[in-house]
Amino acid sequence: MEENLTLHEASFVSRIDGDEIPVHPDSIIPSPNHLLSQFLEDGLCEYAFYYDSNKDICYVNSNLMSALGIAKPYIEKPATGIYEFIHPDDVRIFDQAFAWVKNKDRESLRRDFRLLTEKGKVFWVQFAGISEIHIEGSGGNLVGHLIDITHRVRWEIQHKNIIDGSSAIVFFADLKTHETRYSENLRQLLPDAKLEFEGDLLASIFPFVVFEDRQRLRDSVEQMIEGKTGKYSTEFRLQRPDGSRVWISCRCKSFFDASRQAKMIAGNLFNLSEMNQIRENVDKSCILHEITELPGRGRLLLDIEKMIHNRYVMSAAIVLLDIKGFHTYNDRFGRKTGDELLKGLSQMLSDRLPAEGILFHIHIDSFCILWPHATRLQVQSFMEFLQQETANPVMIGQDAIYTSFSMSAALFPSCGSSADELLANAEITLHKIKKEKWTKHAIYVPSDKRELKEKLDFEFQLTKALRNKREGFQMYYQPLVDAASGSLIGAEALLRWLSHENEIIKPEKIIAGLEATGYMDDMSEWVLEQGIRQCSEWLDAGVDPQFLIHINITAEDLMRPTYSESVFRMLKKYSMSPDNLILEITETSLMRNISICRQNLIRLRNGGVKIALDDFGTGYSSLNYLRELPVNVIKIDRAFIEDIQRDRFNHSFISAIILLAHSISRSVCIEGIEEIGQADFIRDLKADSFQGFYFGKPVSTSVFESKYFKNGYKQGRPSI
Ligand code: C2E
Ligand code: MG
Ligand code: MG
C-alpha cells in the first residue's frame, strides 16, 4: 500500500495534454498524472484502470490489485501479460473489446467477461471504458472501470438453469419497448421461432398458432393489456413444422405501472400433449391385469426401457409364453374355468421365476418374463425346464387341466437395443414357433425376421397378382389311370402360380399365403370353376364321358353352409354332369371338422358328386369313420408307396385298406407311384386306380392335351 501511495503521488503529464511522461523515481515505470492517480486510488469501490498503449503499461487501482492478487499497482506489457488474468473461454470477447477500442475513437464500450486471480479464482466483471487514439494511429490510451458482476451472473445462470430444466416455456413481454423474450426451450417445439422479438407480442407467436385458435388467444391477451385482468390462462394449439399439432396451456400475469397501464406480461407455456403422454405412461404402468393382477404390456415396455438404460445391466432377456389353444379351454370349460386357468398358470410361473425375473400378463393368453442379467444358456435351459413343468396339470377344483406353452426369447443386447425392438423380435420368433409342429421354444435369430419379411413380401406379391385379374395363376393337370388297364380315367387339377420372378410356386405355399391374407375362399371358387370349365370343354370335345376331374377342396369350403349349392350352380353354368366330378378333401382336415362338414358332404353325394379322402394314412385313419362317411374314393398317401417293396408294414397296410374299402364299396387310388416296380407290386393288391410321376407329372392344360389327347379327344380311354 505504501508503494501504491508513492506511485500515485508522482507527478504525471498526460499524453492527452501533449506533454512528456515523467519517469517514476523508483523505477523506469512512468506514473499517471495526478488526476488519474486520484481516480485510480480514491472513492471507487469498483475496479479502475488506465492503459497507455504507447508505453504498453496498465495502471490499476488498489481494489483491482487485491482482486487480481498482484503486488504492484500496474501490469507490465499488458498487450501480452494481461492474458494470464483473462479466463481462457473469454479471450475472444476481451480481444473484440480491444479491437473495438482501437477502431472506434472516443466511444464508450461495455463488455462482460471473466477475470482470473493469480490463485485461479474466477470472477465476472462488466467492463466500461473510453479510448483515445493518436492521430497517427500508432497507439492510444484507455481509461475504464470494471464492476464485479459475479453475483448477478451466478443468479442469472441459476435462473436460466431453472427455466431450462423445467418443461415450461417462459416468456416476458415488455409492453413499453415492445420486446418479447422466450426461453430457449421454445425451440424444442418450434425450431424456427425467434427467441427475441421486437413488435407486437402476439405477432411473435401468431404464425405458429392454429388459425381457429387465434381469436381466442388475441382476446385473452387484449384483456390483459387493457388492464381488465391481471392473470389469465388459456389453451390453444400450435402447428409444428412437421405438420403435427400440439395443445398448449398458457398461464400469464401482467404488471402495471402507477397509472394502471400494463407495462409487462410474464408467463409460461406448457406442452399439454407431452403432459398427456406422461400421464398415459403413468396410467399404463399402473394397470394390472384384471384376472391375474399382474402388470401388463405398457408397464413391460417401460421396465425394459429402464433396464436397458441401467448401466449395471450388461445382459438380459425377455421370454414370451403363449398358452397353446387357450380359446379351446374357454370354449370347452367356460369363461370361469378359463379365468381360473389363467390364475393357475400365473401362479405356476411366479413360483418358478428366475431370481430377479418379473412376470407380466401381456395378452389374454400370453405372459412375459423380464429377466435382467440372463445369459443365452440360462434362458435356453429355463425354457426347457418350463416345458417339462407343463407336463404337470393345473388343478382347478377337482379337475386337472393339461396345458403347454409356445415360448420365445429375445436377448439384450444381441436381439435388440430398445424395448419395442426386443418385444417385436421375440414376437416374430413366437409367431414362427406357434406354427411349428415339434419345436416348442426358441431364441430370436435375425433369420426369423428375414423369413417373416420374405413371407410378407410373398403375400404382398400374391395378393397383388390376385387383384390384377389373377395374373400368373393357372391349373396344372395330373393324369389318373385305371390300375388294371393303365388307361386314362381322369385328371387331378393342381394349382400353380407363376410368380413375378417367373418361378412356379407350388400349391402348399400359395395356400398358406392365401389363408394368411384371407383370399382362400375367393381362390377356392376360382379353382372349382377352372376345373369344371376345363373338364366340360374336354367332354364337349369328345373325351370319354366317364372322365373324372378331381378338384381339391378344403374343410373351410365344406364349412360354408351354402357350399354344395355353389358347386351345383357351377356344374349347371358349364352344363357338366356331377358324375364327372370328384372333390378331394384331406383326411386330416376333414376329421378335424367332421361334424360341421357332414351336411355339405351328404348334400354333395346326394346330388351325384363323388368325394375322395385324400392323403389317407397320414392322419387319424379311423377305419370306423370310413363306413359312416359319404366318401367314394380313398386315396392312399404316397408315403406308403415309397418303400413298398421292402416295408412289410406298408404293404400290409395298403392291402388291409383295399380289402376293407372294397368290403364297404369304396374304391382305392394309390398316389405317388414313381416306378413301374411299385405299380406292378401294388396291382396284385387290387387297387382301383393309380396316380404318380411314373404315369405323368402335373402339366399345363396345353401339355396335358398334347400328351394325352394327341390322337384327338374321341379316342376312348388312352392307355398310359
Ligand atoms: P394332393 O391333392 O395329394 O396332390 C398330389 C400331390 O402329389 C401333387 O403335389 C402332386 O404333384 C404330387 N405328386 C403326384 N404324384 C407324385 C409322385 O409320383 N411323386 C411325388 N413326389 N409327388 C407326386 P402338388 O401339386 O404340389 O400339390 C400338393 C397338395 O396341395 C395337393 O396334394 C393338395 O392337397 C394341395 N392342392 C393342390 N392344388 C390345390 C387346389 O387347387 N386347391 C386346394 N385346396 N388344394 C390344392
Ligand atoms: Mg388331391
Ligand atoms: Mg394326395
CA atoms of 128 and 506, how far apart (whole Å): 88
Q: Which residue intervals of 670-712 are DSSP H helices?
A: 676-683, 701-708
**Cβ atoms 51, 57 nearer than 8 A:** yes
Query: Ligand nearest 511 Cα, by number?
Result: 1
Classify domain 166-276 by CATH architecture.
Answer: 2-Layer Sandwich (3.30)
CA atoms of 314 and 598, how far apart (whole Å): 59
Is the C-beta atom of 696 inside 6 A of ligand 1? no
**Cβ atoms 57, 76 nearer than 8 A:** yes
Over residues 153-161, mean pLDDT: 77
Pairing of strands 667-670, 689-690: parallel
Over residues 2-28, mean pLDDT: 36
Query: Ligand nearest 615 Cα, by number?
Result: 3
Give 7's pLDDT tier (boundaries 50, 70, 90). Answer: very low
**Cβ atoms 576, 530 nearer than 8 A:** no
CA atoms of 102 and 117, how far apart (whole Å): 26
* Ligand 1 nearest atom to the CA of residue 476, by list position: 25
Give 618's pLDDT tier (boundaries 50, 70, 90). Answer: confident
More confident residue, 281 or 705: 705
Helix/strand/coil for 288: strand
**Cβ atoms 49, 78 nearer than 8 A:** no
The predicted pLDDT at position 573 comes to: 97
Is the C-beta atom of 30 inside 6 A of ligand 1? no
Give 285's pLDDT tier (boundaries 50, 70, 90). Answer: low
Ligand 3 center to residue 637 CA distance, Å? 6
CA atoms of 669 and 645, how far apart (whole Å): 18
Query: Ligand nearest 612 Cα, by number?
Result: 2
Strands of 272-393, DSSP E: 316-323, 358-363, 366-372
- The one-letter amino acid at 689: S
Is the C-beta atom of 505 inside 6 A of ligand 1? no
The predicted pLDDT at position 717 comes to: 54
**Cβ atoms 174, 133 nearer than 8 A:** no
The three grid cell numbers given for residue 431, joined into one nine-digit string? 409367431
Query: Ligand nearest 549 Cα, by number?
Result: 2
Ligand 2 center to residue 605 CA distance, Å? 18
The three grid cell numbers given for residue 309, joined into one nine-digit string? 438404460
Find the angle CA(7)-CA(8)-CA(12) to the nearest 5 degrees: 95
CA atoms of 683 and 665, how far apart (whole Å): 18
pTM exceeding 0.75: no
- Any residues with CB less than 8 A from the CB of 410 and at least 6 apart, and which? 317, 318, 416, 422, 423, 425, 426, 429, 443, 444
The predicted pLDDT at position 27 comes to: 45
Give 647's pLDDT tier (boundaries 50, 70, 90). Answer: confident
Phi, psi of 414, deg, nearest 5: -65, -30
Is the C-beta atom of 504 inside 6 A of ligand 1? no
- Any residues with CB less than 8 A from the CB of 694 and at least 6 apart, and which? 673, 674, 675, 676, 678, 679
Q: What are the start and end residues of each CATH 3.20.20.450 domain in the chain?
A: 460-710
2-152 under CATH 3.40.190.170, yes or no: no
More confident residue, 425 or 592: 425
More confident residue, 348 or 44: 348
pLDDT at 391 over 50: yes
Which tens digits make up the pLDDT trace of 401-422?
A: 999 999 999 999 999 999 999 9
The predicted pLDDT at position 203 comes to: 85
Give 566's pLDDT tier (boundaries 50, 70, 90). Answer: very high
Long-range contacts of 521-527 (CB under 8 A, 24+ apart): 521/556, 521/557, 521/560, 522/466, 523/466, 523/473, 523/495, 524/553, 524/554, 524/556, 524/557, 525/566, 526/470, 526/473, 527/475, 527/493, 527/495, 527/551, 527/552
Looking at the chain, the whole-number percentage of residues with pLDDT higher than 90 is 46
CA atoms of 26 and 9, how far apart (whole Å): 12
Ligand 3 center to residue 539 CA distance, Å? 25
For 100, 288, 475, 528, the CA distances from 516, given in Å and listed in that order, are: 76, 33, 21, 20
CA atoms of 209 and 649, how far apart (whole Å): 83
The predicted pLDDT at position 17 comes to: 38
* Ligand 1 nearest atom to the CA of residue 637, by list position: 3
pLDDT at 12 over 60: no
Over residues 90-112, mean pLDDT: 70
Q: What are the start and end residues of each CATH 3.30.450.20 domain in the chain?
A: 2-152, 166-276
pLDDT at 26 over 70: no
Pocket perturbation via mutation, ligand 1, pick of 505, 511, 552 by most ligand atoms within 8 A of CB:
552
Pocket perturbation via mutation, ligand 1, pick of 475, 494, 703 by most ligand atoms within 8 A of CB:
494
Ligand 1 center to residue 652 CA distance, Å? 25
pLDDT at 9 over 60: no
Give 532's pLDDT tier (boundaries 50, 70, 90). Answer: very high
Q: Give per-residue burial for 635-666: e unless 16+ CB within 10 Å, then b.
A: bbbbebbeebeeeeebbebbeebbeebeeeeb
Looking at 45-59, 170-184, 506-520, which range is the least confident one?
45-59
* Ligand 1 nearest atom to the CA of residue 673, by list position: 18
Is the C-beta atom of 639 inside 6 A of ligand 1? no
Please report where in the chains the cell 435356453 appears, as a residue.
380
Query: Ligand nearest 550 Cα, by number?
Result: 2
Superfamily grouping for domain 460-710: EAL domain (3.20.20.450)
Alpha carbon nearest to ligand 1 atom 41, residue:
495
Looking at the chain, the whole-number percentage of residues with pLDDT higher than 70 is 87
Ligand 3 center to residue 671 CA distance, Å? 6
Alpha carbon nearest to ligand 1 atom 35, residue:
507
Is the C-beta atom of 587 inside 6 A of ligand 1? no
The predicted pLDDT at position 24 comes to: 44
Q: How far is the first Cα of the chain from the last one, in angstroms, to the nearest whole number?
A: 128
* Ligand 1 nearest atom to the CA of residue 506, by list position: 26
Give 13's pLDDT tier (boundaries 50, 70, 90). Answer: very low
The predicted pLDDT at position 694 comes to: 94
Q: What is the mean pLDDT of the chain?
A: 85
For 192, 208, 243, the CA distances from 213, given in Å and listed in that order, are: 20, 11, 16
pLDDT at 622 over 80: no
Helix, strand, coil shares of the chain, percent, nearest 5, are 45, 25, 30
The phi-psi region of residue 517 (left if phi > 0; otherwise alpha if psi is between -120 and 50; otherwise beta) is alpha
For 37, 172, 253, 268, 706, the CA distances from 256, given in Å and listed in that order, are: 47, 14, 10, 18, 102
The predicted pLDDT at position 58 comes to: 86
The predicted pLDDT at position 4 comes to: 35
Ligand 2 center to residue 602 CA distance, Å? 20
CA atoms of 148 and 395, how far apart (whole Å): 80
Which tens digits make up the pLDDT trace of 424-458?
A: 999 999 999 998 888 899 999 999 999 999 999 99
* Ligand 1 nearest atom to the CA of residue 698, by list position: 11
Is the C-beta atom of 290 inside 6 A of ligand 1? no
Is the C-beta atom of 552 inside 6 A of ligand 1? yes
Query: Ligand nearest 611 Cα, by number?
Result: 2
Is the C-beta atom of 678 inside 6 A of ligand 1? no
pLDDT at 466 over 50: yes
Over residues 291-316, mean pLDDT: 92
Looking at 105-114, 605-614, 670-679, which range is the least confident one?
105-114
The predicted pLDDT at position 369 comes to: 98
pLDDT at 628 over 90: no
Q: What are the start and end residues of each CATH 3.30.70.270 domain in the chain?
A: 288-444
For 66, 482, 541, 688, 690, the CA distances from 713, given in Å and listed in that order, are: 121, 18, 6, 24, 21
Which tens digits make up the pLDDT trace of 59-68?
A: 888 888 888 8
Distance of CA 141 to the CA centre of its chain: 67
The predicted pLDDT at position 79 comes to: 75
CA atoms of 250 and 237, how far apart (whole Å): 10
The three grid cell numbers given for residue 161, joined into one nine-digit string? 438453469
Return the H-helix or E-strand segment holding 586: strand 581-586
pLDDT at 360 over 70: yes
Nearest by Cα to 584 from 557, 606, 607: 557
The phi-psi region of residue 273 (left if phi > 0; otherwise alpha if psi is between -120 and 50; otherwise beta) is alpha
**What value does the CA radius of gyration of the chain take, rounded to a whole number of Å?**
46
More confident residue, 11 or 627: 627
The three grid cell numbers given for residue 385, joined into one nine-digit string? 425346464
Ligand 1 center to residue 494 CA distance, Å? 6
Ligand 2 center to residue 585 CA distance, Å? 7
Is the C-beta atom of 614 inside 6 A of ligand 1? yes
CATH class of 288-444: alpha beta
pLDDT at 107 over 80: no
Is the C-beta atom of 691 inside 6 A of ligand 1? yes
